[in-house]
A and B are shown apart, each in its own frame.
Chain A
Amino acid sequence: MEHAIETFSLTKIFSDWWGRAKVYAVDDLNLQVRHNEVFGFLGPNGSGKTTTLKMLLGLLHPTKGRSLILGGDGADPKINSRIGFLPEESYLYRYLNARETLDFYGRLFNLPPKLRKMRIEALLDMVGLKAVANRAVGTFSKGMARRIGLAQALINDPDLLILDEPTTGLDPIGTRQIKDLIIKLAERGKTILLCSHLLADVEDVCDRIAILYGGKIQSQGRVKELLQQTNKKQIITDAISETTVAKIKELVQEDNAECVITSPMDKLETFFIKTVTAAQQQARPTSGAVSTTKLGEFLTQPPSVENILDKLVSAPISPDIAEEKLAAPEDVVSSEAVASEARPDEQLLSELAGSTKTERPEPIIPAERVETDAVETPAPEQQQIRKSVLDSLTGGSADRSEGDEEYGGDSQAGGSGDA
């Protein structure tokens, strides 16, 4: 089983009532998504992305060709139990509340009650809907429904996550959270198929992309290879004096090259998150989702811990311990919020964040079972990109790729940015 998803001449023709071919929604599609890769499936509206997903999952029958998903049929329950799927809109049972919704999906996976309960609480916490968990989801805004949709896709801790336009209707914090989640999951060796036309999102997280138009793949490859401008270089520094700037200009001119020097702009996304996080710190009331940048702990555990964790949870466990585990990520969040504002504390906080990490239940990792896929497959650059995004989240010292002015640059890894 070389690929997580593989299609062979997959074709879907929509015919009219008389059976005459009308539209080639998907035309002779040969798609290969490798294990442990974040694959971006792009295309304008009506290019056949969703149709492809529906065929992969057995919701539509292909007119021609076939597809393999995790080496099997997309309608097979054994395969389904390892897949998380978020459709293009969150189709939820309006009369269930958020907690019941997740419980229903958890029961479909036959998760034992204790594990189910733990995951539900962790996911509600992660998507910031804990406060409204007992409200019928029919009363939710689109963004809140999207969050529940995402939570249901993660309840089985899937090996393969299929996300169809995951960020539509989400506020920037939610969007950012999904991107971080994707990166985290990829680090744990999961495969993610991301279907979107919001290019900025895709660019931030995807290893490879395919661009679909008219049901055919027009272009595919590594994001880096497709986007990197090899004929330009970018240097990011701390605030430096005008004389140094002049010297640099001189140096560059000696090399017969043009040089533009400016102070980089904060990305609007970063600014927005900073502002809202600050407001949250002051505990302004909101009736909507409380955006957090936490990730469900069971999703971020290293793969080898997962089994043990599940066993621990399914064994009798005192609720206090579970509470403690859930509470752990909050430290990370608050440190991030502070770190982005107060630079002098940065080092201390990054140490703190680092120390909370080392306090996690790593000591109980058994040596015998370590999955190495997660480490091997992604190229070093990708890892660095992920690291930078994550670190900025957790208050680490690495730079954001866009070159946030406040961060000292010990890294030149910001290659994938919009330079």
Chain B
Amino acid sequence: MHSIWAVATNTIRQALRMKVAVVFTLLLFVLIPALGFSATGDETLKGRLQTFVSYSLSLTSLMLCLLTIIVSIYTMTSDIEQRQIFTVITKPIRRYQFLLGKLLGVILLDVMLLGLFSAVIYTITIYMPRFTKATEAEIVEANKQFFTARAALTVPEVDVSRKVQERYDDLKRRNELPPDTTKEEIISELTKLAQLQERVADVGDRLVWEFENVKPLAETMFIRFKYDIFPNPPDSQVYGDWSAGDPQYFKYGEPPETEPYRDFSHKHAARTFHEIEFPSAVVPESGKLAIRFINPPPSPWKPGNRAPVIFPLDGLEVLYKADSFGGNFIRVVFLILFRLIFLACLGLMAATFLSFPVAVLFCLVLFFTASFSGFLIESFGYLGESVGTIYSYTIKWIIEQILPQFDAFNPTKFLVPARLLSWSELAKATVVPPWWNLDGDMIFVKAMLLLVLGLLIFTFREIARITV
């Protein structure tokens, strides 16, 4: 252990004295406070806070990711290329201890820098309401919708397969199936269409979402939603009549167990998220909750919409307070730390057999692939069948199984909407495998696999370059 520790402290010294870390640190020290002043968002306090936290955390995360890649690769390759390793590895230290020492050094450096910057961001965020001329209402809004951590009830996906099958059979009977397309393609198109229909409300129509096992832990709950509308009205404003309460009442018109909440008076801008607060008391004993949306037609006494309203895939959820902002912030920082640990293992692994520029390029490609994995995986879906099969068993497999999906567990995804990142969610991102059907990412497990690979390569490779 003493030798691992000796190598680790030496690695930290190297990063600090070779000024790699210093440059990144200075850059962040300038940029983060600058963001604190320049971030305005939608001019409200909540908007300012959201913009600041989103940009500063993303920036810190990106900078530290790049730093980790560079430092972890540099610390190995420079030792090998400048041959300091000759005098180190011939001392009583095993090769795995050397590599683990390097890893420990990089991780400790990350912990220090991440701790420092998250403390700076946290402090600025907490004190921002005092420095801005926010109205009382804005502060209340920020406290309810930002300085909190809310668990989300998401809409369960509606099973449309029977509907799709019926529609397909119907088309087939009428001989209206499009030519030159396979059955799978038609079914997939029909499924998309059917799912969309579940999320569209024509003028005067209504949509009802039902949630089960709702255990409200706070006094109020929030409907968080985003409208899409086509054709777009000139002012992009959408009217909506919202209600929340007992499903028995909304679905079958039976007398409600609790008095429903109604909000028929607001209009909201399309294509951005909005929230409506309602009291938790509307949830009946059964723990079932229904949310109803009516697309109001214009009438002489009340304005309305002239076009169908569409809710995007992630366009509706119900939130309730489950934890504090501070606790959530700490877990989000952990999420970033695990990302850095993964990159440190990746960088060290690459550096055991690649030179500095090649290893950096290699790691950057993998880093950006992991950052846009969702987009990439989706785009493979548009490939033709034959090419698509090849890709889905090679590149897609690598992206899904070997690389982590940074975008699936994006830190800002939690803090900006004040969404709870629970410890179990954190575990899901780090150790739970995706085949448990929990959308896990196993980032920590993947990091350890890379580390083992790096250890194997490093243990068996020749350290000295061939010179005759």
Binding site for B on A (CB under 8 A): 14, 23, 25, 46, 48, 50-51, 54, 57-61, 74-75, 77-78, 80-81, 83, 85, 87, 89, 91-93, 95-96, 100, 104-105, 107-110, 136, 149, 152-153, 156
Contacts and interface: CB of A to CB of B under 8 A. Distances in A.
Interface string B206-248: 0000000000000000000000000000000000000000000
A110 B463 CA distance: 23
Contact of B87 (A95, A96, A109, A149): A149
A108 B101 CA distance: 11
A87 B82 CA distance: 12
B84 A108 contact: no
6 contacts: A80-B91, A91-B84, A100-B13, A104-B6, A104-B10, A108-B88
B91 A105 contact: yes
B92 interface: yes
A80 B87 contact: no
Given A104-B6, A108-B91, A92 B463 contact: no
A83 B94 contact: no
A95 B91 contact: no
Interface in B1-55: 2-3, 5-7, 10, 13-14, 17-18
B273 interface: no
Nearest to A77: B92
| Shortest 10 CB-CB contacts between residues of A and residues of B | A77-B92, A95-B17, A107-B6, A59-B464, A81-B92, A108-B91, A91-B83, A80-B92, A54-B464, A87-B86
B224 to A, nearest CB: 51
A93 B14 contact: yes
Contacts of B464: 54, 59-60
B438 interface: no
Contacts of B89: 58-59
Interface string B80-121: 001111111111111100000000000000000000000000
Contacts of B91: 80-81, 105, 108-109, 156
A108 B13 contact: no
Given A59-B90, A95-B18, A108 B6 contact: yes
Contacts of B10: 93, 96, 104
A368 to B, nearest CB: 28
B79 to A, nearest CB: 8
A96 B95 CA distance: 22
Contacts of B3: 107-108, 110
Contacts of B18: 95
A74 B463 CA distance: 13
A100 B2 CA distance: 16
B159 to A, nearest CB: 58
Contacts of A85: 86-87, 90
B468 interface: yes
Contacts of A58: 89-90, 463
Interface of B: 2-3, 5-7, 10, 13-14, 17-18, 82-95, 462-464, 466-468
A59 B14 contact: no
Which of A14, A61, A91, A93 has the most chain B CB within a 10 Å cutoff? A93
Given A50-B467, A108-B6, A80 B84 contact: no
Given A91-B84, A108-B3, A108-B6, A48 B468 contact: yes
Contact of B84 (A25, A60, A93): A93
Contacts of B6: 104, 107-108
Contacts of A96: 10, 13, 17
A156 B89 CA distance: 15
Contacts of A149: 87
Nearest to B98: A108
A23 B90 contact: no
Which of A23, A74, A100, A110 has the most chain B CB within a 10 Å cutoff? A110
A87 B87 contact: yes
A48 B467 CA distance: 9
B190 to A, nearest CB: 55
A104 B83 CA distance: 16
A59 B463 contact: yes
Contacts of B95: 75
Contacts of A61: 462
B87 A105 contact: yes
A109 B467 CA distance: 29
Nearest to B459: A75
Nearest to B85: A91
Contacts of A100: 13
A108 B83 CA distance: 17
A38 to B, nearest CB: 20
A78 to B, nearest CB: 7
A60 B462 contact: yes
A165 to B, nearest CB: 13
Which of A50, A61, A89, A104 has the most chain B CB within a 10 Å cutoff? A104
Nearest to B83: A91
A229 B223 CA distance: 104
Given A91-B87, A109-B91, 19 more contacts: A14-B468, A25-B468, A48-B468, A54-B464, A57-B90, A59-B86, A59-B89, A59-B463, A60-B462, A81-B91, A89-B83, A92-B84, A95-B14, A96-B17, A104-B6, A105-B87, A108-B88, A108-B92, A149-B87
A212 to B, nearest CB: 12
A110 B87 contact: no
Given A85-B87, A104-B6, A104-B10, A91 B82 contact: yes
A352 B90 CA distance: 42
Contact of B466 (A14, A75, A83, A136): A14
A59 B462 contact: yes
B2 A110 contact: yes
A156 B91 CA distance: 9
Contacts of A25: 466, 468
Nearest to A103: B6
B462 A46 contact: no
A78 B90 contact: no
A136 B151 CA distance: 54
A387 B85 CA distance: 37
Contacts of A95: 13-14, 17-18
Nearest to B86: A87
Nearest to A92: B84
B30 to A, nearest CB: 24
A157 to B, nearest CB: 13
B467 A77 contact: no
Contacts of A46: 468
Contacts of B463: 58-60
Contact of A78 (B82, B83, B92): B92
A89 B468 CA distance: 15
Contacts of A78: 92
B90 A83 contact: yes
A136 B13 CA distance: 12
B94 A77 contact: yes
Contacts of A51: 467-468
A149 B88 CA distance: 12
B81 to A, nearest CB: 10
B226 to A, nearest CB: 52
B90 A80 contact: yes
Contacts of A23: 468
Contacts of A60: 462-464, 466
A85 B467 CA distance: 18
B305 to A, nearest CB: 66
Contact of A152 (B83, B87, B94): B87
